[in-house]
């Protein structure tokens, strides 16, 4: 280094908000030059002139007004008149982070000192700052937050520039190599690659090595349509002198990937032509994340719409007067939602085939094909009806496991996915609901969960409608079934011990347990309890009433025909079992499918036959008639006890009167009062319960 070069100081421009330069001490040590700092709002040249005046007078001083530090090690250049001439810096280093300040200051420096190297060295590098450095003709761009020591880049840049002038191309190469996104190019206005810099990990994806791209054109690297779009972007950047952005796809060794580019026009000519800097990032992963996010958002919106439709259908079912209305409303509302293109409900017939009940939508070809499916192929509709499990088929048109006829019908009706939902309540399957959609993979797990709930709700509503029809019917159908044998407890007990069993009541508790109260005549309770404990069909047994030759027990069975009949809308009137043969009397409404009842009972008892069918007119009682009948059943003492207990708050919680206080008011003992109370309550409850052994 010559004495003249050493006399030219390095100027470091810092932000006014920063107290001192991070680079100055290390630059002084590495270059053996005078390094001076100025604030970004000053002109470095003016500051140096003032600093030279201070040095001429001798001493070292800090210009507090302008924030300039001067060092006495520098030697001022003097003119012929003995006055101090402006000192030309050996380099200007911009230790700034704001793009506007960098651009403004570089233009001011280049206007006065065009041959002085300028290095942009921000604390935190970014693509935006690199672009600003390029456009403002910085000699180099060296962010100080990287793994590389910035001094190792700044010092060689200063020394090289001092020896030879910068040809422009090398400057762009240095900056491109510093702030590469994934790939960066200098591309001429005619689409020719002039420079190419690619990160090593990105270079492995190229079908053509980056260094072989130089001299080729966009048309050589991309399909015609993509090359035309990229050329338009270059033209726009040059014509407007503004930064342009574009997204495009490129074929790589890892398949087709998505890129985003920022196109920065270069003010000076490169190799005699206008050019741009092309900074590109591989955004394939980001695009895929955004696609998945949009997909999840779309799925969520669709799911919300589906849930809204299902809620609306469930609200409609509450007021449906008949099963036909329920099924028709379900199918129509599903199709009217525009989420589904077809829907229908079918049920199994006595011969095991499926019978169409009702439907909606335009998927007639698929429906007809499903109806005619024979041979070894079991359609999802048949599978759901047979197993009572939900079935889903997605991508129907492309599913080669499906029959060609079904795929052709799906193509004709634009059906791409379907779900078959069993309509069930507890252990009873009333039919299957088929729903078709024009969307691939339309039935996610959340949608399937919603349809399972819908199937159960429809089943519950059908059961409730049947019970309501039976409850309010003026005339009913009485069915008498004869059940010959079976592996149930009461059948085995009556056959082995020649006793008789009678069903007092059977029903389902709120927890779903089926409870039966059975009276056994002709056998002691000890034997009954011992047999119940050993029998496979009995889960639990408890003694209720004990007599010498009879007893009443509470039973809980592993499987009960009573529950099955109740779920089909039948009311059990009487069940008597003797010598291993049972006679079961049930009532159903006029609209009930009797074949369905018979089949359901056969599933529990193999030898169950319909022995008789009778239409019975019900006796209609008014509330006043029932009240009179209850009062006639009560004695005066029982009625008085009930009234005193009711109005005295004995039945409130907490009680407002005790049993002793009620007894004292009647002038009788407490045990006697409780005896009257219980007998009176039993008479009242008997009016409601003794007419039927049906489930409540």
536-557 pLDDT, tens digit per residue, is 888 889 999 887 788 999 988 8
Please state, in angstroms and rounded to a whole number, the distance separating the CA atoms of residues 456 and 383: 18
Burial of 142-169, coded b for 16+ CB within 10 Å and e otherwise, reads bbbeeeeebbebbbebbeebbeeebeee
As a whole number, the mean pLDDT across the chain is 80
pTM exceeding 0.85 = no
H or E stretch at 615:
strand 608-617
Examine the pLDDT at 440 and tell me if it is beyond 90: no
Average pLDDT in the 690-695 region?
A: 47
Please state, in angstroms and rounded to a whole number, the distance separating the CA atoms of residues 76 and 88: 10
Q: How confident is the model at residue 420 (pLDDT cuts 50, 70, 90)?
A: very high
What is the number of residues in the chain? 696
Cβ atoms 603, 481 nearer than 8 A: no
Torsion angles phi and psi, residue 569, rounded to 5 = 80, 20
Of residues 583, 582, 558, 562, the one with CA closest to residue 494: 582
Q: What is the 8-class DSSP label of residue 580?
A: T
Which is more confident, 442 or 148?
Answer: 442
Examine the pLDDT at 71 and tell me if it is beyond 50: no
Please state, in angstroms and rounded to a whole number, the distance separating the CA atoms of residues 692 and 681: 18
Examine the pLDDT at 380 and tell me if it is beyond 70: yes
Q: How far is CA 290 from CA 257, 282, 300, in A?
A: 14, 14, 15
- For 119, the token pair is 């290095």
Examine the pLDDT at 33 and tell me if it is beyond 90: no
Partners of 417 in beta bridges: 437
Q: Please name the residue ranges forming H helices in 393-524.
A: 404-413, 445-471, 489-497
Q: β-strands 608-617, 581-588: how paired?
A: unpaired
- For 123, the token pair is 């604390």
CA 614 to chain centre: 55
The number of beta carbons lying within 10 Å of the beta carbon of residue 498 is 12
Cβ atoms 269, 188 nearer than 8 A: no
Per-residue pLDDT reduced to its tens digit, 595-635: 878 887 887 787 888 899 888 877 666 677 778 888 888 89
The number of beta carbons lying within 10 Å of the beta carbon of residue 349 is 12
Q: Please name the residue ranges forming H helices in 32-83.
A: 44-57
Per-residue pLDDT reduced to its tens digit, 84-133: 445 678 889 999 988 888 888 888 888 888 888 899 999 887 777 877 88
Beta strands in 305-427 (DSSP E): 342-348, 354-361, 391-393, 417-425
Examine the pLDDT at 255 and tell me if it is beyond 80: yes
Q: How confident is the model at residue 430 (pLDDT cuts 50, 70, 90)?
A: confident
Please state, in angstroms and rounded to a whole number, the distance separating the CA atoms of residues 51 and 87: 9
- For 484, the token pair is 């010959």
Measured CA angle at 538 (ends 537, 542), to 5 deg:
165
pLDDT score recorded for residue 84: 45
Partners of 542 in beta bridges: 554
pLDDT score recorded for residue 2: 53
pLDDT score recorded for residue 93: 92
């Amino acid at each position: 280094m010559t004495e003249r070069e050493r006399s030219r100081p390095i100027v470091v421009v810092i932000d006014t908000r920063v107290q001192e330069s991070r680079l100055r001490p290390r630059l002084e040590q590495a270059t053996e030059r005078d390094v001076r700092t100025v604030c970004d709002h000053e002109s470095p040249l003016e500051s140096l002139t003032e600093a030279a005046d201070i040095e001429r007078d001798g001493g070292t001083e800090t210009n507090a007004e302008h924030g300039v530090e001067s060092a006495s090690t520098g030697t001022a250049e003097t003119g012929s008149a003995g006055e101090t001439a402006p000192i030309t810096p050996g380099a200007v280093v911009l230790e700034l982070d704001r793009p506007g300040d960098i651009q403004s200051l570089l233009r001011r420096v280049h206007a006065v000192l065009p041959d002085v190297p300028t290095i942009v060295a921000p604390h935190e590098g970014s693509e935006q700052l690199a672009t600003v450095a390029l456009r403002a003709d910085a000699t180099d761009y060296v962010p100080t937050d990287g793994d590389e020591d910035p001094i190792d880049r700044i010092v060689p840049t200063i020394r090289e520039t001092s020896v030879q002038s910068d040809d422009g191309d090398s400057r762009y190469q240095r900056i491109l190599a510093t702030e590469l996104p994934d790939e960066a190019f200098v591309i001429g206005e005619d689409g020719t690659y002039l420079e190419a810099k690619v990160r090593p990990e990105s270079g492995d994806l190229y079908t053509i090595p980056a260094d072989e791209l130089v001299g080729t054109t966009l048309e050589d690297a991309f399909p015609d349509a993509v090359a035309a779009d990229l050329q338009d972007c270059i033209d726009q950047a040059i014509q407007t002198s503004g930064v342009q952005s574009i997204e495009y796809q490129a074929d790589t060794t890892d398949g087709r990937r998505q890129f985003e580019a920022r196109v920065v026009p270069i003010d000076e000519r490169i190799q005699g032509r206008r050019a741009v800097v092309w900074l590109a990032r591989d955004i394939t992963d980001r695009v895929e994340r955004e696609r998945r996010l949009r997909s999840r958002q779309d799925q969520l919106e669709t799911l919300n719409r589906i849930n809204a439709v299902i809620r609306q259908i469930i609200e409609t079912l509450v007021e449906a007067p008949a099963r036909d209305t329920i099924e028709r409303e379900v199918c129509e509302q599903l199709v009217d939602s525009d989420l589904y293109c077809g829907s229908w409900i079918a049920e199994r017939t006595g011969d095991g085939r499926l019978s169409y009940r009702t439907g909606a939508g335009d998927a007639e070809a698929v429906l007809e094909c499903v109806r005619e499916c024979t041979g070894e192929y079991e359609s999802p509709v048949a599978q759901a009806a047979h197993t009572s499990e939900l079935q889903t088929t997605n991508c129907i048109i492309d599913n080669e496991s499906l029959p060609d006829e079904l795929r052709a019908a799906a193509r004709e009706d634009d059906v791409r996915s379907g779900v078959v939902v069993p309509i069930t309540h507890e252990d009873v399957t009333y039919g299957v609901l088929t729903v078709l959609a024009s969307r691939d993979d339309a039935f996610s797990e959340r949608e399937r969960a919603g349809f399972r709930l819908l199937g159960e709700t429809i089943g519950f509503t059908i059961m409730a409608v049947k019970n309501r029809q039976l409850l309010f019917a003026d005339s009913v159908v009485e069915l008498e079934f004869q059940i010959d044998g079976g592996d149930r407890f009461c059948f085995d007990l009556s056959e082995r011990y020649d006793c008789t069993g009678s069903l007092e009541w059977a029903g389902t508790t709120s927890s779903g347990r089926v409870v039966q109260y059975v009276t056994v005549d002709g056998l002691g309770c000890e034997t009954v309890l011992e047999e119940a404990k050993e029998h496979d069909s009995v889960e639990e047994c408890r003694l209720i009433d004990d007599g010498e030759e009879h007893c009443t027990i509470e039973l809980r069975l592993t499987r009960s025909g009573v529950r099955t009949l109740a779920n089909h809308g039948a009311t059990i009137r009487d069940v008597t079992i003797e010598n291993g043969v049972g006679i079961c009397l049930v009532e159903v409404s006029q609209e009930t499918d009797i074949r369905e009842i018979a089949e359901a009972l056969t599933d529990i008892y193999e030898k169950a036959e319909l022995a008789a069918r009778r239409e019975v007119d019900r006796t209609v009682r008014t509330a006043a008639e029932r009240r009179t009948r209850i009062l006639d059943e009560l004695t005066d003492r029982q009625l008085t006890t009930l009234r005193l207990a009711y109005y005295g708050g004995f039945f409130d919680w907490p009680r407002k009167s005790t049993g002793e206080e009620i007894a004292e008011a009647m002038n009788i003992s407490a045990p006697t009062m409780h005896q009257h109370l219980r007998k009176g309550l039993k008479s009242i409850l008997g009016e409601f319960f003794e007419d039927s052994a049906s489930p409540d």
